[in-house]
Amino acid sequence: MAKPQFVEPVKLLAAILWSDLTVVQTAVAQLQERWGTIDFSGQDRPFDVTEYYQEEMGVDIRRRLVSFSRLIAPEGIVAAKLSCNEIEEELSNNQRRRVNLDVGYLDHSKFVLASCKFSGQKIHLGRGVYADLMGRYQAGRYRPFEWTFPDLRDGRYDSELNQIRLTYLRQLRSGKTGL
C-alpha cells in the first residue's frame, strides 16, 4: 500500500488579460495584497489569438504573466481562483469584466491554470474549481496540449515561464519557500 508522500510547494502565478492600464494596475495591487511580493512581471503581449473577449473587454487586449515570491501548497489554487473571481467582479463594469485573472501555478514538471469551467481534461479540486493542465515540462519548455490556450501554446511565453521556473527551483534549493 502506498502512503501519502510529501508534496512540494508550487509557484503561484497569474496570466492577466486586460485592455485598460489603470484596471490592470489596480488588479495587480490587489493580487499583491493577497499574495505578497511579485518576483516576476513579464511583458505586456498582444492577446491576438481570438476575438472571444473583445465584446466584454474591448480591443487591444494584452496578457501579462506575473509570479509571486511566496510559494503555496498546490491545493491553495482553489482559494486563489475564488479570490481572483472576487477581484474580477469588483473591477467589472455593468457585468463586464475589465480584467481576466487566470491564476495558476507551475512546478518543475507542469504548468496548471485554475478554472471554474468544466471540460473533459479538467480535474475538479473542490468548490467548483478545476485544475487545467496547460503544459508538461520537457526538453527545456512547458510542452502544451491541444486544449492549451493558443497564446500559451504558440511559444511567446516560453522564456518567461522558464524564468519563473528557474526562480522556483532556486527557491526550493535554498529552502526559502515562504511557507
State the DSSP string of the chain: -PPPPP---EEEEEEEEES-HHHHHHHHHHHHHHH--EEEE---EE--S-STTHHHH-SS-EEEEEEEEEEE-GGGHHHHHHHHHHHHHHT-BTTB-SEEEEEEEE-SSEEEEEESS--TT-EEEETTEEEEEEEEEETTEEEE-TTS-HHHHSSTTHHHHHHHHHHHHHHHHHT----
pLDDT tens by residue, 23-34: 999 999 999 999
pLDDT tens by residue, 69-102: 999 999 999 999 999 999 999 999 988 999 999 9
pLDDT bin (cut points 50, 70, 90) of residue 175 is confident
Domain 10-174 classified CATH 3.40.50.10860?
no
The full set of domain ranges for the chain reads 10-174
